[in-house]
């Protein structure tokens, strides 16, 4: 089993590599080689008996993808991409990496004609307001960002390339990943993780939106579970509709905070300071809130059942079980 | 008012030019220049006081689109494209013309920064089975052809480029255009027009599918009305969801034949010979049948009310009012 991961240096990529290292196998076969690609060199895991190759460079550079897939991996995880805020700020970069880079990878696989399983991380950013209360699987994507547009276009290519037999693709639309480890960033969604992560680490966190805001979350651990399940699922059961909205936990910010209080106590939850930010709220208002995700659930994709579980996963995976 | 039309040599393009020549104005302004583009030279109408330029070549050739939009047209009708059957048979050609060609045009307009109204002909081929009985406007596109995929991707670009203010785009998803003038072709949908056109011209027509097959049609005259309305509509009323499913007449093949009998008599309708073709039927089964098209209707797009009207339009526009 040879596996290629693009975006291997990112948060999800690193966690996926750690999981694969732990499992040692995928689709019932021992992992013998890992090809890791990113724009900066990903960290190579030390794995006995696994041939690890590190690749760096721009996905959309001519010939780069042909060289990358020359090893004919059995499974490709295509995680690489420019994030939402950057794709909006830099029009050319977003289209070049998120659309042209993805297409370059898909075409390299097509031309090499080895038809691997290909797992692509799409996003709920393919949806744009207005929404029904619960977004059904058959709801149309009408993104309101260039990032969402690039993901939507890549999804369309993935479905067509799969239909034609160039590869066996599964696109997974990730909800907001929470609790993201690391530092706060400039993403408008950063606070969803921040209001849990910072208080648990003994620090103050800012809440820029009202507690009534409803949003869907899945833990980094669930994101990795989705990826592994997407790599292993029977493609015939999925049929021609290859892009699946992943399940998650839909909660209000208030419910997030209540869960934090249940798990870590009132003193920890008091480290959240409400400081309304109209700009952030305006962005968050346009985001989808809650999904049916019926197809994904029926196909065996599973997320946490409660936000408590999401917090527990963070404490176990990032804090060695300890609360500051 | 300067107007650019790509695909100007095609059936819809020719009818649009004839209509513009008759109207002499668009968006309340006198037409002073027409730029006509196609892969083969379109026929130039003789129009007093209108500067007509003929352009030929490949849409996706480097620099071609920049040269084409250098005249900064006020309205662009982007009709050019490889048809469904050809896009399926020739993968590279389909993506090059229908996706890369469209993107090259959109980018040329973006870089020239003159923000015209841009009308794009998409297709109900963006939808793929299974469908509900009536497809609502919010139903997701899951095309089952490369042609449909290319149209879907172009629609996504159109919406994003419009959102960013690069142009003011309207995508119209055309139903099957019926009655198409001219000869039968190799499209699986050819018979929908053939069973009306050939009998009215005194010739036999083959019906390859059962009379129970339900399908949505609009006349070539309606297609041109859609284009004109899309060019003139207030973009603010449309909002960010820029791709609209056009209305049409949903009838069974049996109802098409009954309408022909009502208008032209039983002897004419007897010129249809039933000769089941499993291959054609298999393709037709995957096609969408009936649409709500509520948004388009609310926005003032109007089609025929009955299939009788569609036949009458053909007799008036193509047969000088005479039945053979």
The pLDDT of A207-212, averaged and rounded, is: 96
User: Which helix (DSSP H) or strand (DSSP E) does residue B22 occupy?
Assistant: helix B11-23
- List CB contacts (< 8 A) between B146 and chain A: 160, 164
Confidence (pLDDT) at B188: 83
Cβ contacts (< 8 Å) between A156 and chain B: which residues?
Answer: 141, 143, 149, 152-153, 156
- pLDDT, mean over chain B: 96
Tens digit of pLDDT for each residue in B73-106?
Answer: 999 999 999 988 899 999 999 999 999 999 999 9
Q: How far apart are CA A221 and CA A179, in angstroms?
A: 10
| pLDDT (average), residues B176-185 | 92
- How far does CA A69 lie from the centroid of its chain? 22
- Contact between A160 and A222 under an 8 Å Cβ cutoff? The reply is no
When the pLDDT of each residue in chain A is averaged and rounded to a whole number, the result is 96
**Residues A111-127 pLDDT 10s:** 999 999 999 999 999 99
Residue A240 DSSP one-character state: T
Cβ neighbours of A165 in B, within 8 Å? none
Beta strand segments in chain A, E: 2-6, 25-26, 29-30, 33-38, 51-56, 75-78, 117-123, 168-174, 176-177, 205-207, 214-218, 243-245, 249-252, 272-274
Which residue's entry shows tokens 């419910």?
A255
Task: Mutate one of B100, B152, B291 to test the A interface: name it (highest A CB count within 10 A).
Answer: B152
Please identify among residues 261-320 of chain B the ones whose CB lies closer than 8 Å to any CB of chain A.
none
Pairwise CB contact (< 8 Å): B146 & A138: no
Does residue B172 carry a pLDDT above 90? yes
Residues 112 through 141 of chain B touching chain A, CB cutoff 8 Å: 128, 137-141
- Asked whether residue A282 carries a pLDDT value surpassing 90, the answer given is no
Secondary structure class of B262 (helix, strand, coil): helix
> Which chain B residues touch A292 with a CB distance below 8 Å?
none
pLDDT, average across residues B176-190: 89
Average pLDDT over residues B281-291: 89
Residue B186 has pLDDT above 90, yes or no: no
Domains of chain A (ranges, CATH numbers): 2-174+220-245 (3.40.50.720)
- pLDDT tens readout for residues B240-259: 999 999 999 999 999 999 99
- Residue A147 annotated in active site: yes
pLDDT, tens digit, 9 for 90 and up, residues A136-189: 999 999 999 999 999 999 999 999 999 999 999 999 999 999 999 998 887 889
pLDDT digit string (tens) for B29-83? 999 999 999 999 998 888 888 999 999 999 889 999 999 999 999 999 999 999 8
| Digit-coded pLDDT (tens) for A18-63 | 999 999 999 999 999 999 999 999 988 888 889 999 999 998 899 9
pLDDT one-digit tens code per residue, B153-165: 999 999 999 999 9
Q: Per the CB < 8 Å rule, is B160 touching A138?
A: no
Which of B324 and B203 is assigned the larger pLDDT?
B203
Identified catalytic residue from A95, A106, A147, A287: A147
Q: What is the pLDDT of residue B184?
A: 86
Report the C-alpha gap between B237 and B97 in whole angstroms.
31
Catalytic residue among B106, B147, B166, B287: B147
* Sign of the C-alpha dihedral computed for residues A140, B147, A90 and A193 taken in this order: positive
């Amino acid at each position: 089993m040879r596996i290629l991961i693009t975006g291997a240096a990112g948060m999800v990529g690193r966690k996926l590599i750690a999981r694969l290292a732990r499992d040692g196998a995928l689709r019932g076969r021992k992992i013998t080689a890992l090809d890791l690609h990113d724009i900066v060199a990903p960290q190579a895991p030390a794995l006995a008996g696994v041939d690890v190759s590190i690749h760096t460079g721009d996905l959309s550079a001519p010939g780069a993808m042909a060289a990358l897939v020359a090893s004919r991996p059995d499974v490709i995880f295509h995680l690489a991409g420019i994030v939402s805020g950057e794709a909006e700020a830099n029009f050319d970069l977003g289209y070049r990496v998120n659309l042209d880079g993805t297409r370059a990878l898909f075409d390299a696989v097509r031309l090499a004609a080895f038809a691997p399983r290909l797992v692509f991380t799409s996003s709920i950013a393919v949806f744009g307001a207005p929404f029904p209360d619960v977004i059904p699987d058959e709801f149309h994507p009408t993104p309101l960002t260039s990032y969402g547009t690039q993901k939507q276009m890549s999804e369309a290519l993935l479905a067509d390339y799969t239909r034609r037999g160039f590869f066996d693709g599964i696109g997974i639309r990730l909800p907001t990943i929470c609790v993201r480890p690391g530092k706060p960033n400039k993403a408008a969604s950063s606070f969803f993780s921040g209001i849990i992560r910072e208080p648990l680490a003994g620090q103050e966190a800012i809440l820029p939106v009202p507690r009534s805001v409803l949003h869907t979350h899945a833990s980094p651990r669930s994101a990795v579970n989705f990826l592994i399940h997407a790599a292993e699922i029977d493609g015939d059961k999925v049929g021609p509709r290859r892009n699946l909205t992943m399940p998650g936990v839909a909660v209000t910010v208030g419910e997030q905070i209540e869960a934090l209080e249940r798990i870590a106590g009132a003193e920890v939850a008091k480290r959240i300071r409400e400081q309304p930010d109209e700009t952030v709220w305006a962005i968050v208002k346009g985001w989808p809130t809650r999904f049916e995700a019926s197809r994904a659930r029926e196909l065996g994709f599973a997320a946490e059942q409660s936000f408590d579980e999401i917090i527990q996963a963070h404490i176990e995976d990032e804090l060695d079980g300890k609360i500051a």
